[in-house]
Structure 1
């Protein structure tokens, strides 16, 4: 009887462990992709922003991400560092300085490793591979936009996608400006404004 009881206890323990492991596997990817726009400074017709995507998922890597949004005014992207748009769009009304993108709904992709240094920014250029717990960043100069916290408008209708992965993005939210510490760790600076977008994994395709 003792041996039978011991065998039953072992089976129960194995089943419990299996259920626990299965539960942990299901919850291991709880988290989200958070996209943060930090407006770093104002320009004569807009602003310069650093956009960072954080992968807060515990185990799910994001290979080959793309990011898109819709401008609410007539914004253009004058230049980008660390990423690029897939299309320039119709910039025919610009006679001299030609924007990087005039698309109302630009689609942004990461750059490849080995991109020239003057086209890079910290945490960029990973061919769109966003591993768990890490981040990917790019910088863009936006024109035809507001030039103050009262006139700058948040982009809307965000999408964040990757091959075989679908995400649902919430609305853009104005949050407390990000604070940064200088390299010597003796001074704090802050963004002019910060916008957050949260994208939750929906399903694999």
Structure 2
């Protein structure tokens, strides 16, 4: 699992901007799913939620994000966030996954989380102010191990205190580019998936 932590050294440099964020008066929440490297049974991804809403922030107890796997994927481990349920992982012996739920729900970690459990822009207790971003990393198993076999999650949901959002379909977009901490090398995600969630109503 050492490969999980190489992403912690990267500073994200996004080479795309949500077109809806530029054209909508209200903006949106854009979720970006970057596949960073392949593992023996899946991949490591960084998931980032961007708050493009101009005048709407998310306060504690913070955002929740969920989706539905299209195959039998599991989450081996996470950095910067956690699922609310582990689910039934009884079929695994020895190394037990972080989550075996087919429709996992993810929440941000709290401030003060140990450094080895953090990633850049995580651990704010789900608080997401206008113009900022929140990120976490996960290792997905029982998944595809190439650009032809990895499948995008579907049915994304994004919720926040007293706010309801409607999320569109997952889209395959141009891979995100990254610059290393020393600013001397550019790298690229293997694949990037994008989901746009728009504010529906206050509750």
- TM-score when scaled to structure 1? 0.85
Q: Which string of whole-angstrom CA distances, capped at 9 and with x for unpartnered residues, describes residues 142-178 of structure 1? A: 0000000000000000000011000000000000000
> Corresponding residue for 2:106?
108
> Corresponding residue for 1:177?
175
> For the residues of structure 2 that align with 1:29 and 1:133, how far apart are their CA atoms?
14
Contact 1:29/1:59 (8 A) holds in 2: no
> Corresponding residue for 1:152?
150
Q: How many residues end up aligned between the 2 structures? A: 179
The structure richer in helix per residue is 1
Structure 1: unaligned runs, 5 residues or longer: 1-27
Q: Which string of whole-angstrom CA distances, capped at 9 and with x for unpartnered residues, describes residues 63-119 of structure 1? A: 210000000000000000000000000000001110000000000000000001110
* One of 9, 33, 44 as aligned partner of 2:40: 44
> Corresponding residue for 2:188?
190
> Corresponding residue for 1:161?
159
Secondary structure (helix, strand or coil) at the match of 1:159 reads: strand
> Corresponding residue for 1:62?
58
What are the within-5 Å matches in structure 2 for residues 25-44 of structure 1?
30-44=26-40
Secondary structure (helix, strand or coil) at the match of 1:114 reads: coil
What RMSD, in angstroms, separates the aligned Cα atoms of the two structures?
1.3
Shift of 1:29: 6.3
> For the residues of structure 1 that align with 2:79 and 2:183, how far apart are their CA atoms?
25
Contact 1:29/1:60 (8 A) holds in 2: no
Structure 2: unaligned runs, 5 residues or longer: 1-23
> Corresponding residue for 2:198?
200
- Bigger Rg over Cα: 1
> Corresponding residue for 2:89?
91
Secondary structure (helix, strand or coil) at the match of 2:126 reads: coil
- TM-score when scaled to structure 2? 0.86
After TM superposition, the runs of 4+ consecutive aligned structure 1 residues lying more than 3 A away are none
Secondary structure (helix, strand or coil) at the match of 2:165 reads: strand
Shift of 1:183: 1.9
Secondary structure (helix, strand or coil) at the match of 2:159 reads: strand
Secondary structure (helix, strand or coil) at the match of 1:93 reads: coil
* One of 76, 81, 84 as aligned partner of 1:78: 76
